[in-house]
């Protein structure tokens, strides 16, 4: 049973790393390395196996399905099951504060609410009914978002900051990205839910990491392990050091130590992405706009549009109206055009 839990944690961690690389890595050099590695592997792996793997990866990353939602809930359930069955009980024996131990469950409850809202909410689908209204929400910059452009798939005029999602097969107003973990696009009408979901997920992982680390430190302190000595391979007595302590704790509490390492790495990844998402929100940018604009220099093909004078026009963020206004636009997305229509 212990081996099965550790294997599931390890498998989930590998999948998280693969998804992070596939979604957030835009480096052309890394893509070239991946393609080079794929070419080398193609000479060794049989064609039938290659086709099966390609079909699986296409279904996994290029079609809309709930696989990653199931994985997300399974992984979250495993983490909280381990925390409840072992860490919580041991911490109660060591007389940890009960509100401190219950905080991860409060964060989990809030997280699941906003996870559900992010999954179920309409991100801002552009339809024939709201096309003319959404065209008035944002200004066109004629560089990244030219006027009078149409989506060839939906056959609709594209509002500024919108994009067609291939996975969902729809145009999304203020498109940010498609998140496989919620099986939905992140757009104008559910970005607020996504940010709170991401914030509570990061906080819950960090809280579990903190409680687990505090338990192990308290255990070492109470048992006076750091004052003990051990016999090394040469028969000499050595003072207990950090490496020995970690090895001893891993042998005594393998799942708890593995859980701690997992949630620490997860907390670091989530914190980094949360900071990036908050930066985009505070500057009124989307992931799509950031990638095509400010990050394009890394790929040495900056997004430009040529004017009649043959001089390039580089994209600039014309939608930022200050920190408070930018956040208000996300958490209170206004549609003044609808009000005009009611009048």
Are 120 and 130 a contacting pair, CB within 8 Å? no
Question: Between the CA of residue 154 and those of 127, 166, 279, 324, what are the distances in Å?
Answer: 9, 11, 31, 34
User: Is 17 considered catalytic here?
Assistant: no
Answer whether residue 243 shows pLDDT above 50: yes
Are 160 and 188 a contacting pair, CB within 8 Å? no
Q: In angstroms, rounded to a whole number, what is the distance separating the alpha carbons of residues 83 and 89?
A: 9
Q: What is the pLDDT of residue 47?
A: 76
In the set 171, 179, 185, 298, the catalytic residue is 179
Answer whether residue 227 shows pLDDT above 90: no
Q: In angstroms, rounded to a whole number, what is the distance separating the alpha carbons of residues 35 and 15?
A: 19
Are 158 and 145 a contacting pair, CB within 8 Å? yes
The CB density around residue 107, as the number of other CB atoms within 10 Å, is: 20
Average the pLDDT over 224-243 and give the result: 68
Most confident among 62-71, 250-259, 272-281, 294-303 (mean pLDDT): 272-281
| Percent of the chain as helix, strand, coil, to the nearest 5 | 60, 10, 30
> If we measure between CA atoms, which residue out of 241, 246, 58, 243 comes closest to residue 166?
58
Are 300 and 337 a contacting pair, CB within 8 Å? no
> If we measure between CA atoms, which residue out of 110, 92, 108 comes closest to residue 100?
92
Answer whether residue 232 shows pLDDT above 70: no
Q: Which helix (H) or strand (E) holds 314?
A: strand 312-314
| Predicted confidence band of residue 195 (pLDDT cuts 50, 70, 90) | very high
Q: Which two tokens stand for residue 140?
A: 């066109």
Q: What is the pLDDT of residue 102?
A: 97
**DSSP category for residue 52:** H
Answer whether residue 229 shows pLDDT above 60: yes
| Predicted confidence band of residue 342 (pLDDT cuts 50, 70, 90) | very low
Q: In angstroms, rounded to a whole number, what is the distance separating the alpha carbons of residues 297 and 300?
A: 5
Average pLDDT, the chain: 81
Please list, in sequence order, all residues whose beta carbon lies within 8 angstroms of the beta carbon of residue 92, skipping any fewer than 6 positions away: 98, 101
Average the pLDDT over 247-258 and give the result: 87
Question: Exposure of 333 by Cβ count < 10 A (0-12 exposed, 13-18 middle, 19+ buried)?
Answer: middle
Q: In angstroms, rounded to a whole number, what is the distance separating the alpha carbons of residues 200 and 194?
A: 10
Q: What is the pLDDT of residue 65?
A: 82
Q: Between these two residues, 171 and 62, which has the higher pLDDT value?
A: 171
Q: In this predicted model, what pLDDT tens digit does every residue of 108-132 receive, in sequence order?
A: 999 999 999 999 999 999 999 999 9
Q: Which helix (H) or strand (E) holds 150?
A: strand 150-151
pTM: 0.79
> If we measure between CA atoms, which residue out of 153, 182, 159 comes closest to residue 172?
159
Q: Between these two residues, 48 and 198, which has the higher pLDDT value?
A: 198
> If we measure between CA atoms, which residue out of 51, 57, 47 comes closest to residue 18?
57
The CB density around residue 196, as the number of other CB atoms within 10 Å, is: 18
Lowest mean pLDDT among 4-13, 140-149, 174-183, 260-269: 4-13
Q: In angstroms, rounded to a whole number, what is the distance separating the alpha carbons of residues 91 and 218?
A: 9
Taking the domains of the chain in order of start, what are their residue ranges?
A: 82-122+189-294+323-332
**Which residue in the block uniquely carries the two structure tokens 């990244």?**
144
> If we measure between CA atoms, which residue out of 299, 126, 105 comes closest to residue 211?
105
Q: What is the pLDDT of residue 201?
A: 97
> If we measure between CA atoms, which residue out of 176, 123, 184, 137 comes closest to residue 286?
176
């Amino acid at each position: 049973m212990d081996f099965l839990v550790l294997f599931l944690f390890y498998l989930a961690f590998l999948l998280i790393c693969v998804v992070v690389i596939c979604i957030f890595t835009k480096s052309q050099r890394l893509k070239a390395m991946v393609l080079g590695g794929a070419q080398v592997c193609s000479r060794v792996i049989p064609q039938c196996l290659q086709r099966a793997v390609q079909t699986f990866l296409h279904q996994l990353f290029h079609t809309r399905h709930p696989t990653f939602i199931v994985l997300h809930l399974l992984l979250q359930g495993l983490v909280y099951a381990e925390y409840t069955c072992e860490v919580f009980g041991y911490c109660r024996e060591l007389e940890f504060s009960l509100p401190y131990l219950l905080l991860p469950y409060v964060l989990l409850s809030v997280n699941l609410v906003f996870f559900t809202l992010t999954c179920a909410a309409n991100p801002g689908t552009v339809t024939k009914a709201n096309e003319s209204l959404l065209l008035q929400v944002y200004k066109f910059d004629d560089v990244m978002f030219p006027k009078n452009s149409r989506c060839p798939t939906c056959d609709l005029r594209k509002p500024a900051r919108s994009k067609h999602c291939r996975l969902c097969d729809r145009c999304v107003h203020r498109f940010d990205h498609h998140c496989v973990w919620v099986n939905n696009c992140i757009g104008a009408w559910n970005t607020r839910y996504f940010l709170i979901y991401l914030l509570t997920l990061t906080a819950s992982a960090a809280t579990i990491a903190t409680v687990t680390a505090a338990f192990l430190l308290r255990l070492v302190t109470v048992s006076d392990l750091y004052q003990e000595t051990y016999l090394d391979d040469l028969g000499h007595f050595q003072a207990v050091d950090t490496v020995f302590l970690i090895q001893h704790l891993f042998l005594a509490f393998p799942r708890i130590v593995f859980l701690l390492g997992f949630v620490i790495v997860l907390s670091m990844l989530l914190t980094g992405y949360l900071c990036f998402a908050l930066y985009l929100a505070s500057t009124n940018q989307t992931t799509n706009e950031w990638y095509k604009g400010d990050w394009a220099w890394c790929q040495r093909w900056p997004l430009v549009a040529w004017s009649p004078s043959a001089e390039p026009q580089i994209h600039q963020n014309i939608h930022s109206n200050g920190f408070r206004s930018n956040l208000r636009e996300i958490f209170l997305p206004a549609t003044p055009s609808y009000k005009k229509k009611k009048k």
